[in-house]
Amino acid sequence: MIVKFPRALEPDNWQIVIPKKVFVYSAHLDPWSRNESIIHILGSITKKDLINPNRSQLYCKIWIVSEDSQSVIVDTSKVTRITDPDFTWEDFEIISEIASHLQNKRIIHAPAMTVKFPRALEPDNWQIVIPKKVFVYSAHLDQWSRNESIIHILGSLTKKDLINPNRSQLYCKIWIVSEDSQSVIVDTSKVTRIIDPDFTWEDFEGRNAEFTCHFNITPDVLTNTVVQLTSNPYKVPNNSMSLHQNFKQGQRYNFTVCLEGPFFGGISTDWFIEWMEANTIFGAQKILIHNLSIPLYLKPYINYYKRIGLLEVLPWDLRFWPTANRSATIRYNLQPIMIVDCQYRLQHYSKYIVFIDMDELIVPRASTDKTWSDMIDHLNCPLHPHSYGARQLWFLKEYPRIENTTLITQDVRIRNTYIANFGIRSKYIADTTLLTTMASIHSAFEGIGNTTCVMTLEIGSLHHYKSYTVYNETVQDDTMTKYRIELMQRVKNVKTEIDTQ
């Protein structure tokens, strides 16, 4: 849409702000403005509204055009003071001075012009903020926003720019369209925090990043909002993201799955179907993956699961990192920030999120338990854990197959007897109502609940199907055979469905 740049009334004259209550005449830059711009608006207000401490909050909005008339910044600030220069307090309508503090803004007399409302990239994908330095993927409204709006932008930046205290200041810009599409709010705020959810701090140049901004706008206003990140608030950014605010939608699912690594080649058709169907048996109602490179032979099956509503696929195009050896520049294809993106998208739709890789399954191991719900019900946990931890069991794909069904979970049943402590190659199920921090690869860090409840081997564990070169003693583990008949039938049905299309 097109936003009309306002034309100032020339010459100044009285104008209405709130009929019968608030009026304005002229605006003046305070001569003592230095590091911030203090603007005084002269006008009139009723005595009742002047002295009433519960009066409506007023705001100043400024529209600034660059000297070359090629870019526009629009900013909003609360009125911080209302004073009356007439100290007699006689019973008249009051002439008032309204002051607003606007940080680091240049005021330029400018002609009327039109401003193009930015179109968000759909679906989300990587975009450049500063070439070779700062990049963004998605924007999310913080679930704890109440009297202000806290926005998290997920992205990436160089290690040097992350740890350098003298790095360039970054800004968030939001564009909000009213529900009736008749009005627009544009606001800018400094990035107040940049954190990296990857706490390993290994020596990789490309870092994960969450950029946080605070806006003096209540979340209920944020309908149809586009977010941008920029290093220069006076220029038009070259990135645009839709603001995700899923917590307004309410829960739809009991269990959803976040695939912890970007999806790329080397996955067989048989295993992909088996993995999808096994998770469905366990209780998955939606599975979210980020696509680095889906092989052509898998696309019919990807499309099938998308069509029935089980699978959502988001692009994860990392070509923005200008390097021939990307794996040496960015750790695990920026897996940590991808996990956080998945968490933010699903945590308000779903009671639980299951975090696993493509070669893993969190399996209910008790003979009477079939689903994750059964498993959680039988755990002897402290009151209200924020997550349920599954320790890893290596299932060794290079060992001779027990059967030849083409199903990995039925044929690969030899595993190591070694069981690592939770936190070492482990995975988990998070209770989204209690998790308060960003999700991580192997465990959840903090939540409202007491702690992570680690599953006993008798109740549940992480089955990791992989070729492994370091062996302890081995044992045959037949836990997954209880799903044999149903799983084989499900896989057969999917293949038949695809073959007949």
Instruction: Give tens-digit pLDDT for 271-322.
Output: 999 999 999 999 999 999 999 999 999 999 999 999 999 999 999 998 877 6
pLDDT band at 448; cut points 50, 70, 90: low
Residue 3, token pair as written in the block: 């936003």
Q: What is the pLDDT of residue 94?
A: 40
Residue 468, token pair as written in the block: 């492994």
**Domain of 328, in residue numbers:** 249-499
> Do residues 204 and 329 touch, judged by C-beta distance below 8 A?
yes
The span from the CA of 440 to the CA of 446, in Å, is 11
Residue 270, token pair as written in the block: 């048989």
pLDDT band at 395; cut points 50, 70, 90: very high
Q: Do 424 and 325 reside in the same domain of the chain?
A: yes
66, 87, 115: which is the final residue of a domain? 115
The span from the CA of 386 to the CA of 447, in Å, is 5
Q: Do 172 and 183 reside in the same domain of the chain?
A: yes
Cα 400 to Cα 403, 409, 436, 465: the distances in Å are: 9, 13, 44, 14
Which residue blocks in 347-449 are alpha helix, DSSP H?
372-378, 408-411
115, 131, 154: which is the final residue of a domain? 115
Name the DSSP class of 60.
E
SS3 state at 294:
coil
Strand ranges of the sheet holding 360-364, from the earlier edge strand across to the other edge? 360-364, 460-466, 392-396, 414-416, 474-476
Q: Do 51 and 139 reside in the same domain of the chain?
A: no
Residue 258, token pair as written in the block: 């976040």
Q: Do 176 and 84 reside in the same domain of the chain?
A: no
- 398 backbone φψ class: left, alpha, beta (φ>0; ψ -120 to 50): alpha
Instruction: Give tens-digit pLDDT for 223-238.
Output: 889 999 999 887 788 9
Name the DSSP class of 435.
B
Q: Do 142 and 221 reside in the same domain of the chain?
A: yes
Give the bridge partners for 389, in sequence order. Answer: 428, 454
Sign of the alpha-carbon dihedral angle for 244, 248, 249, 251: positive
H and E: helices and strands count for the chain: 8, 29
Interacting residues of 180 by C-beta distance below 8 A, sequence separation 6+: none
Tell me, what amino acid is at 67?
Answer: E
Q: Do 283 and 375 reside in the same domain of the chain?
A: yes
Which residue blocks in 398-451 are alpha helix, DSSP H?
408-411
Closest CA to 176 of 112, 245, 122: 245
> Do residues 348 and 247 touch, judged by C-beta distance below 8 A?
yes
SS3 state at 301:
helix
pLDDT band at 105; cut points 50, 70, 90: very low
Q: What is the pLDDT of residue 398?
A: 86
Helix axes 484-499, 269-282, angle to 10 degrees: 130
The span from the CA of 37 to the CA of 233, in Å, is 15
The span from the CA of 174 to the CA of 446, in Å, is 30
Residue 287, token pair as written in the block: 């599975």
Q: Do 35 and 169 reside in the same domain of the chain?
A: no
Quick check: 380 pLDDT over 90?
Answer: no
The span from the CA of 49 to the CA of 32, in Å, is 28
> Do residues 408 and 485 touch, judged by C-beta distance below 8 A?
no
Instruction: Give tens-digit pLDDT for 14-51.
Output: 999 999 889 999 999 888 877 778 899 999 998 888 77
> Do residues 407 and 491 touch, judged by C-beta distance below 8 A?
yes
Instruction: Give tens-digit pLDDT for 245-275.
Output: 876 677 899 999 999 988 887 899 999 999 9
The span from the CA of 210 to the CA of 346, in Å, is 17
Structural domains of the chain, count? 3
Q: Do 152 and 293 reside in the same domain of the chain?
A: no
Closest CA to 124 of 247, 20, 53, 226: 226
Q: What is the pLDDT of residue 187?
A: 87
Q: Do 462 and 336 reside in the same domain of the chain?
A: yes
Q: Do 92 and 181 reside in the same domain of the chain?
A: no
Instruction: Give tens-digit pLDDT for 45-81.
Output: 988 887 776 677 888 888 887 666 556 677 778 888 8
Q: Do 30 and 175 reside in the same domain of the chain?
A: no
> Do residues 391 and 421 touch, judged by C-beta distance below 8 A?
yes
Q: What is the pLDDT of residue 177?
A: 81
The span from the CA of 277 to the CA of 404, in Å, is 19
Residue 295, token pair as written in the block: 């092989």
Name the DSSP class of 65.
E
Q: Do 255 and 319 reside in the same domain of the chain?
A: yes
The span from the CA of 83 to the CA of 167, in Å, is 40
216, 247, 278: which is the final residue of a domain? 247
